[in-house]
Amino acid sequence: MRVVALHEDVLLCTSAFWQTTCTIVRGAGGEESEAPEAFVIDSPVLPDELEALPGVLEHTGWPCSGLLATHADWDHLLGRLAFPQAPLGCAETTAARLTGSFGEAVRQLREFDDEHYVERPRPLGLGQVQALPVPGKLEVGGGELELHPTEGHVPEGMAIFVPWAGVLVVGDYLSPVEIPWISEGGSRSAYRATLERLQPLVEAAEHIVPGHGAVLDPVRAAAILREDLHYLETGELPLARRSPAQKKIDAENRARW
């Protein structure tokens, strides 16, 4: 797992698997805050990476006040394995999906582990879930995170903007390595609406963190956003994302269009 600082209050951890990103945000005010807080957004995938997460926070001196998930896909929920006692915050729509089908996430994780010979020290549990109103704001330390709705990839989710750091965490959107993926329950029209909703946030940010792939600057993120809109409108794959894996996703998308 690679860990880099995007801001004095933001660390980005990137998993060796699927380039899955995990963003750690310390509340505005940093070390001067009387009640320091830090949230862990999404999660890396592999057991050793999850085991290392508490050490990353301990090294920086940031206390883990809670977990945040951009959406309910299993590979974004594994922070619970690193911090089993921390509450999990997510959009109200995500909380509803987890309540109704958390067993599906557990099943998909088990299938992934079986396929790749991965052993984990404990099973994934749901634990305490806090449903957050989205759009809305969430206090962290001396600042507020902005929560913005994202639907289309799946029928629920949120993007998280850290305004004092200029960091935008978008979940499974604007990926430089993956085309728009319309999963079960997702929607082509909702995905396009989400991209249009993200556009002004991209322009306001300095760093855009996709769920999979390298962190983006606003120019690159805007270019990917245009490519993704074009793909959703025409079905033409972006030039840099035409691998066999992306063609497989495209075939799945077309079955749901």
Contacts of 79 (CB under 8 A, 6+ apart): 22, 40, 42, 43, 50, 53, 67, 69, 86, 88
Would you list the domain boundaries of the chain? 2-256
Distances in Å between the alpha carbon of 228 and those of 61, 193, 242? Answer: 39, 12, 13
**Res 257: pLDDT:** 84
pLDDT of residue 173: 98
How many other CB atoms are there within 10 angstroms of residue 121's CB atom? 8
Predicted TM-score (pTM) of the model is 0.94
Question: Which letter, b or e, does each residue of 148-174 get, where b requires 16 or more Cβ atoms within 10 Å of its Cβ?
Answer: bbbbbbbbbbbbbbbbbbbbbbbbbbb
pLDDT in tens, the chain (257 residues): 999 999 999 999 999 999 999 999 998 765 555 557 999 999 999 999 999 999 999 999 999 999 999 999 999 999 999 999 999 999 999 999 999 889 999 999 999 999 999 999 999 998 889 999 999 999 998 889 999 999 999 999 999 999 999 999 999 999 999 999 999 899 999 999 999 999 999 999 999 999 999 999 999 999 999 999 999 999 999 999 999 999 999 999 998 88
**What pLDDT, on the 0 to 100 scale, is given for residue 35?**
57
Q: What is the CATH number of domain 2-256?
A: 3.60.15.10
Other beta carbons within 10 Å of 110 = 15
